Structure 1
Amino acid sequence: MRAPDAPLMLPTRADTVRLIVWVLAVQALFWGLGLVVRPSAPDPAFERSRVSDIVLQNADGTQTPLDGRANYYLGTEREATFIGIVEVARPERGLVVFVPRYNRFASLTVNGETVPSSDAPSWRANRMGIKWVVPAQLLQQGPNQLAVTIQRECCKAYLARLIAGPPEALDVPIQQWRMQSVIPSFGLMVLGIFAAIGCLMVSRSPAYRTIAFAAALAFTGMALSGLWAIDILTPSSEPVYVAAGQMILLATFAGLVALADRWFPGEPRFDRPLVIASLVFAAVIITCSFVSDGVTPLFRNILEGAIVVLANFAVIASLKRGLVADRRLWTPDAAVLLLVPAISIADLIAAIRINPLALNSAPLGVLGLAILLMLGIVRRGQMLSQRLEDANTLLDARIAQKEAELEVTAERLRVVEAEAAVQRERSRIMRDMHDGMGGQLLSVLMLSRDESAPRATITQTVEQAIDDLRLLIDSLDSVGDSLDIALGQFRERAETKLRAAGMRLVWSNRLESGAISLPPGPILTIYRIMQEAINNAVRHSGGSMVSIAINPDDAGGVVIIIADDGKPDPATWRKGRGLENMERRAAEVGGSFVLETGAEGTSITITIPKV
């Protein structure tokens, strides 16, 4: 399909030749099929009982011999009386007279006496034929005159053949002939009903809704045309019956136009004109149905011709739009769709001029239109499927493009995040060095300038600075390690410090290996809390043992309990700055800090939640 911004490609000579070949091939196939399925050879019983030498009764009483043109006898006016002579050897057996096909409204007189039809009064016959049973009292041995009067709504009156013979010879052949005649119309009705139902089922999908409604309308018209052609279920007046046929014609062509308008690419262009024209034609048809004597033949021909011509104009305009969009792609569709004007023109000619092929092409044409509708739906499905595949391909390409762009963006974000993480870690280290070792070194500097400061105090301050530096280094070394391994490194330093103070360390670590991992910042904070607890035990407890128990809690975090066995004097115990720092640092990592002291010693409990 041509893109909206693509240049219009002029058709080449090869494209034109290809279109002509397609059109000729499709037309030859359809009309060749029409010739193949022409009416079969007459029943032998009909041929044996056929009345020959039929003449036309003129208005002035004269008679004109007729040559049956392919077995069709034509009058020159809307009403014609055809007269034939039949020899009856045994009048007591009665006589059956049958006209297989005629125009409409036939009446029979035998030897000047009117004979009523033996068919039901509601039968309009026509394609079903009409049958008379002549009683024996109206017959005479030898020649008998049969006069069949045919009326027609427009143009010429005609009848196919005039069959006359004994009942035992014609009753069964007439039944068989009628069954063969009704099957195509009945089949067309059933096909139209089921096809219309199928289209309505397809219309539940939004992608097929409008085209399915259009096809359902045309199929409904075809189903009604089959019922209308059977001609036995319409005991109405002639104007109403004619109006019903015209409404069926209007519905069928409206559906075909709507379908053709959506068959080819581009937005539908005839929806509004189609609705307006349909309403106008429907109003005219309904008005004519109330005319008691019916409208004139000329007006009927003009009305039906206008419906056919306007519909074909819209169909041809639609297929032209498709050929302009892409002649190579839409050539087969245009060739098939051109059957619509070909069939409708043939049927229009058949309404004015009678010939066997035209009479046979009418039901074949309706079936051909039904096939066109099905092909249109299939083609529409192919178009939508192709559009869906193209859309999926385009979507996949755009998704791949966006994924590549997202990957580039994600890589840039990863680089930025990595740089930000490095910067944050640098800031944290600088802050930790400033708050910890920096403050302690500043204290050493101030003490060194004070000549009265004890040497032990200076030494202690330097040792604290060194311890803090080691804690910082240990926290940086723990990158990638779990909490149990990081705390294991702290154990070595705690044992060294306690041993120097004459105390021992009882260590218990029940964390599973690799269960909890923390970044360097929180690990350093935990180190400092534990280091402060060790320092307090060494300085103030007066005990001989410090225990450190590390256990997991039920919420997935960790609980650290540091206890000593000292007995501090309650009178001298007070909460200092070190305990406040421990509480603050526990809060920084989202944990809690609890201090307990008693006769058996002092313990602190640090709870670190799961990260």
Structure 2
Amino acid sequence: MGLCGLALPILLAGLAAAQPAAPVQTLRTAEAVVRVAGEPPLAAARVALPFRWADQAPRQAGGATLTLELPPLPAGGDDRLHGLLFEALGNQAAVYVGDRLVARWGQLGDPTFDAGRGPRLVRLPADLVEGAAAPLPLRIELSFQPQRGGGVSVVRWAPLAQLEALEARERLWRNTLSLVYAAGLLLMGGLAAGLWWYQRDPLYGCFSLAALAGTLRNLDQSGLQMPLPWPWWGAVVAMSYAVHIALLARFVTLALHQPSRAVLRLLSGILWTAVGLAGLAFALRLPALWTGALALLCGGGIAAVPGVLGDAVKGRHPTAHALLVAGLLAIAAGLHDLLRVRIGLGGASWVPLTPHAMFGFVLILAGMVVARYSRSVHEYRDLARSLDARVAERERQLTAAMDALQTQREQQAVLLERQRLMREIHDGVGSQLVGLLNLVGRPGADPAVMEAQVKLALDELRVAVDSLQPLEGDLTVVLATLRYRLQPRLEAAGLTLEWEVDSLPPRADVTPQTAMQIQRILLEGFTNVLRHAQARRIRLEAHWHAGPPERMEIVLADDGRGFAADGQPAGGQGLPSMRSRAAAIGATLTVASAPGEGAALRLDWPVRR
């Protein structure tokens, strides 16, 4: 019993919650009195809803009074607030229940406001509806402008909560989404314009113009206040809509392939014809011209289907399937808007579907931009990898070439060094050995002379060997090495060597060849002093002169017997040979001497940069 006592209230509450809400009643007929501008009112007649002014006087302005009865709502409902919902109402309207004004949109006959661009919800006062057992009289006063799509949809009569949900859904479908589409078209149109500016791709330029033209149509459908008076605004919207549709058809052909001149001329002809018909329709008040323009645009879209279908079947373009689906949806939406919204066949409608279908092309362009960007990134990466491989291969080839060149240079240097050594040995040691051989072959040769010849040959050999040592441009090392080689001979001959050599800076032109020439010049000078000068002291100086010009000076002087300035030491090897060696390294050799005053050998070697 306890469980049943608990279950019974729950069951009753569930049954109460399950009670259906009051149904939405739809009124589909009305008594209408039509008034065409400049003509007497027509007699009252029963008309079916929706009521379209385009079916009464499409080229003229006017008005109408529609009378309906609101049937009593089912009894027992808890809803105290009720309302009326119109899918479309206008162009300007006033709604009365009984003699009481319950809603007004614009002033009757004032074209600055259009109530027909969105659903209209009338919230009825509670005291007007509450307790009403008999039908309530409903009167709708309307005014219309030609070519503006004015009229009255079916009337929905129900509790307010249900109608608010329906009104929110219809407003989302007609107005809010139009604002979203306008923002999307504006954004993608700007992006396409930027891409066209940098790439000059006709695909992006075409879509940019189409998107910007479609933005006006969507802004008009959003229900915002018009920036221009009617019918100027209507003409602008119609022409921009024609541009929007025609350029999107051109965009589809450009996205699939490079169209022929004939196709481009056909699309251009459709574009300008539709734009011209739209402008003339409003200028001449001939709605049939705008209807013909819409039919022409639909026909152009249908004519493009076979080409798109062929590309989709053959798979020649990655976006062909998406373009085919979007194109078919756009054509279906265009036919719906032409037949039902524009002409009113099959039950008139005030909700155009073309803006919803056309937004698919925005998504397709976004996908194409992403795909092209991704493809470009992959191509750049492949190119970078290819360039890296080519650079690496070229570096390998250059390294191999440099190695081969270095090997060749080393071999050339070795060959040149061999040739130099052969020449020096031939000219120096070889000549001394030949002289020694001649002495040996003579009867009664002087051993002292033979010994001097042997020592001179050894000195020549040592100079050749010393020139092979690494110098690093240091001439001081060259002079010190020569001193080390000759010091024993000088001491044995009783000569005192006075050494005055500055700290000489390194020179890049002090090479084994130049070192050999300097050593041979000085060796020749020392040898002449030992043989002929009868000196007691010999002095070697080396100084650096900063200049200008920068130069190095080497002086070899003795205090011997000297010789005439225009001659040469008796029995010497000859000053011409020493001057020739000096000239070979870019230096100048001068000799200063006088009988009884010794001799001075001066080598002036300038720095050449």
Which TM-score band (shorter chain)?
A: 0.5 to 0.7
Give the corresponding residue for 2:88.
101
Which residue of the other structure, out of 238, 245, 251, is the alignment partner of 1:249? 245
Which residue of the other structure, out of 253, 266, 271, is the alignment partner of 1:282? 271
How far 1:461 sits from its partner (Å)? 5.2
Instruction: Give distance in 2, aligned partners of 1:159 and 1:510.
Output: 117
Give the corresponding residue for 1:376.
368
Q: What per-residue deviation string (whole Å, max 9, x for no partner) do you get for residues 499-522 of structure 1?
A: 233212233555589986954333
Give the corresponding residue for 1:233.
227
Instruction: Give distance in 1, aligned partners of 2:263 and 2:112.
Output: 35
Give the corresponding residue for 1:396.
388
Letter in 1 for 2:488: T
Give the corresponding residue for 1:308.
301
Instruction: Give distance in 2, aligned partners of 1:584 and 1:191.
Output: 91
Which residue of the other structure, out of 136, 156, 160, is the alignment partner of 2:153? 160
Give the corresponding residue for 2:18.
none
Give the corresponding residue for 1:184.
177
Q: Does 1:269 align with 2:255?
A: no
CA distance change for structure 1 residues 228 and 531 in 2, over 3 Å: closer, same or farther?
farther
How far 1:396 sits from its partner (Å)? 1.7
Q: Secondary structure at the match of 1:476?
A: coil
CA distance change for structure 1 residues 447 and 372 in 2, over 3 Å: closer, same or farther?
same
Whether the aligned pair in 2 keeps the contact of 1:506 and 1:547 (CA below 8 Å) is yes
Instruction: Give distance in 1, aligned partners of 2:583 and 2:113.
Output: 102
More RCO (CA 8 Å, sep 6+): 1
Q: Does 1:85 align with 2:75?
A: no
Q: Does 1:566 align with 2:559?
A: yes
Instruction: Give distance in 2, aligned partners of 1:590 and 1:100.
Output: 108
Q: What per-residue deviation string (whole Å, max 9, x for no partner) do you get for residues 348-373 of structure 1?
A: 23224448999475333344332332
Give the corresponding residue for 2:16.
none
How far 1:99 sits from its partner (Å)? 5.3
Whether the aligned pair in 2 keeps the contact of 1:214 and 1:256 (CA below 8 Å) is no
Instruction: Give distance in 1, aligned partners of 2:364 and 2:583.
Output: 81
How far 1:602 sits from its partner (Å)? 1.9
Give the corresponding residue for 1:507.
499
Q: Note the aligned Cα RMSD (angstroms).
A: 5.5
CA distance change for structure 1 residues 398 and 176 in 2, over 3 Å: closer, same or farther?
closer
Give the corresponding residue for 1:408.
400
Which residue of the other structure, out of 339, 355, 365, is the alignment partner of 1:363? 355
How far 1:341 sits from its partner (Å)? 1.6
Q: Secondary structure at the match of 2:468?
A: helix
CA distance change for structure 1 residues 571 and 116 in 2, over 3 Å: closer, same or farther?
closer
Give the corresponding residue for 1:533.
525
Whether the aligned pair in 2 keeps the contact of 1:52 and 1:84 (CA below 8 Å) is no
Give the corresponding residue for 1:495.
487
Letter in 2 for 1:54: T
Letter in 2 for 1:408: A
How far 1:601 sits from its partner (Å)? 5.7
Instruction: Give distance in 1, aligned partners of 2:488 and 2:540.
Output: 14
Instruction: Give distance in 2, aligned partners of 1:128 and 1:597.
Output: 124
Report the TM-score, using the length of structure 1 for normalisation: 0.66
How far 1:378 sits from its partner (Å)? 1.9
Which residue of the other structure, out of 342, 346, 351, is the alignment partner of 2:332? 346
Q: Secondary structure at the match of 1:602?
A: strand
Give the corresponding residue for 2:13.
none
Whether the aligned pair in 2 keeps the contact of 1:55 and 1:65 (CA below 8 Å) is yes
Whether the aligned pair in 1 keeps the contact of 2:178 and 2:222 (CA below 8 Å) is yes
1:174-213 alignment to 2 at 5 Å?
182-201=175-194, 212-213=204-205
Mean alpha-carbon deviation: is it higher for 474-483 or for 380-389? 474-483
Gaps of 5+ in 1: 1-43, 89-95, 133-140, 262-267
Aligned residues, how many? 523
Give the corresponding residue for 1:127.
117
Give the corresponding residue for 2:605.
607
Instruction: Give distance in 2, aligned partners of 1:413 and 1:150.
Output: 95
CA distance change for structure 1 residues 570 and 245 in 2, over 3 Å: closer, same or farther?
same
Instruction: Give distance in 1, aligned partners of 2:308 and 2:592.
Output: 97
Give the corresponding residue for 2:107.
118
Which residue of the other structure, out of 450, 463, 477, is the alignment partner of 1:471? 463
Give the corresponding residue for 2:28.
53
Whether the aligned pair in 2 keeps the contact of 1:98 and 1:130 (CA below 8 Å) is yes
Report the TM-score, using the length of structure 2 for normalisation: 0.66
